[in-house]
């Protein structure tokens, strides 16, 4: 899968792209944008696409597209553009794993970067990929930048869970909410990426409009892991939980994939119940399910970043679901 910073293509988000292109052409470009939507649908790809176009200048066709041969594209792809700063969960030097959070030093770097003179006389751009992973101190540091933005500076915040951001941060951003991709588009992209795939319909049905999730499912034992996540979501007895955890850990990258799928299916159920105005799954309040979803995300991040025991984390996750289900 092509990393977002190097991906020349964006599918299914033409309206959002047109909004950014029109804002750029108007000369009245808001200084901060919050790009939201489910994981794996192209939010970061859109952010980098916009950054490249800002560096290259307005397009005559009114889009954000830029040829991969363009110098701005090549430098953004290589991570070497002097006017672009990307902030994300950093790798801990001690554990050699990604941190569970974006910390305050990362956020403070944003202010210092944006107050520098643009190396090429144009825009300076910051992309915060996974802005919802900022801890409280980092969020407050970013808020200071948003309250007094320097000229010719653009902040692009990418978040799958915007509700975790401070309300004061959300209120200072113009929001672009991206929808899940249509199943037909996910199926086409999946076939193009993996021509030998067999159960396309089965993968698409579980992907929830996310090409990122579809590719993860299609690789290795993804479908098997999805079935286990679906079983766990309905609440499993403690004895079955131990056996299920063992099955998950026998799969390649089982822990990360299982937790991602569990939270993804949970989010879909929460959203469906929210749209219908009914109670959450199993008749419990939606707020309780949202809190559980957030807690499982923190549990996954902590396990992966500080090398906690994945089997114990799986059992803890299933116990939390069982208590609510």
The model's pLDDT over 187-228, given as tens digits with 9 standing for 90+, comes to 999 999 999 887 898 889 888 899 988 888 887 678 888 889
Burial environment of residue 124 by CB neighbours within 10 A (0 to 12, 13 to 18, 19 or more)? buried
For the chain, state the CA radius of gyration.
20
What pLDDT shows up at residue 170? Answer: 96
Closest CA to 101 of 272, 305, 266, 260: 305
Model confidence band, residue 31 (pLDDT cutoffs 50, 70, 90): very high
Q: Six-digit token pair at 172?
A: 């200072």
- Tracing tokens 């066709």 back to the chain, one arrives at 61
d(CA 37, CA 15): 14
d(CA 130, CA 231): 28
What pLDDT shows up at residue 213? Answer: 84
The model's pLDDT over 57-113, given as tens digits with 9 standing for 90+, comes to 988 888 899 999 999 999 999 999 999 999 998 877 776 777 778 999 999 999 999
Give backbone dihedrals phi and psi of 269, rounded to 5 degrees, phi first: -65, -40
Beta bridge partners of 248: none
**Average of pLDDT values for 241-249?**
95
Top-confidence residue, 322 or 226? 322
What pLDDT shows up at residue 251? Answer: 84
Q: What's the pTM value of the predicted model, to 2 decimals? A: 0.81
**Which fold, 4-177?**
Rossmann fold (3.40.50)
**Average of pLDDT values for 231-258?**
91
Q: Six-digit token pair at 8?
A: 């020349």
What pLDDT shows up at residue 269? Answer: 84
User: Taking the CB of residue 71, how many other CB atoms lie within 10 A of it?
Assistant: 11
**Average of pLDDT values for 286-315?**
87
| Domain parsing of the chain, residue ranges | 4-177, 220-324
Top-confidence residue, 46 or 230? 46
Model confidence band, residue 281 (pLDDT cutoffs 50, 70, 90): low
Q: Which of 85-99, 256-270, 308-322 has the lowest mean pLDDT?
A: 85-99
d(CA 30, CA 254): 41
């Amino acid at each position: 899968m092509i990393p977002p910073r190097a991906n020349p293509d964006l599918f299914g988000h033409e309206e959002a792209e047109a909004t950014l292109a029109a804002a750029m052409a108007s000369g009245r470009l808001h200084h901060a944008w919050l790009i939201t939507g489910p994981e794996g649908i192209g939010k970061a790809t859109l952010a980098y696409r916009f950054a490249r176009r800002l560096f290259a200048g307005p397009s005559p066709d009114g889009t954000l597209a830029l040829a991969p041969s363009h110098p701005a594209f090549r430098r953004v792809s290589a991570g070497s553009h002097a006017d672009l700063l990307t902030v994300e969960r950093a790798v801990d030097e001690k554990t050699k794993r990604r941190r569970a959070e974006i910390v305050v030093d990362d956020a403070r770097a944003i202010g210092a970067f944006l107050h520098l003179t643009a190396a090429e006389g144009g825009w300076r751009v910051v992309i915060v990929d996974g802005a919802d992973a900022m801890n409280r101190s980092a969020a407050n540091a970013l808020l200071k930048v948003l309250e007094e933005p320097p000229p010719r500076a653009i902040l692009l915040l990418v978040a799958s869970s915007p509700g975790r951001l401070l309300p004061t941060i959300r209120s200072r951003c113009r929001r672009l909410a991206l929808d899940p991709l249509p199943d037909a588009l996910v199926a086409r992209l999946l076939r193009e990426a993996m021509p030998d795939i067999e159960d396309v319909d089965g993968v698409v049905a579980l992907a929830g409009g996310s090409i990122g999730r579809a590719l993860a499912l299609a690789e290795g034992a993804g479908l098997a892991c999805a079935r286990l996540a679906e079983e766990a979501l309905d609440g499993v007895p403690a004895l079955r939980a131990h056996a299920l955890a063992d099955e998950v850990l026998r799969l390649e990258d089982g822990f990360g994939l299982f937790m991602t799928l569990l939270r993804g299916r949970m989010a879909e159920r929460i959203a469906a119940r929210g749209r219908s105005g009914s109670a959450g799954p199993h008749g419990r309040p939606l707020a309780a399910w949202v809190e559980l979803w957030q807690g499982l995300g923190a549990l996954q991040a902590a396990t992966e970043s500080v090398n906690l025991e994945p089997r114990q984390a799986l059992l803890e996750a299933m116990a939390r679901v069982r208590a609510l289900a």
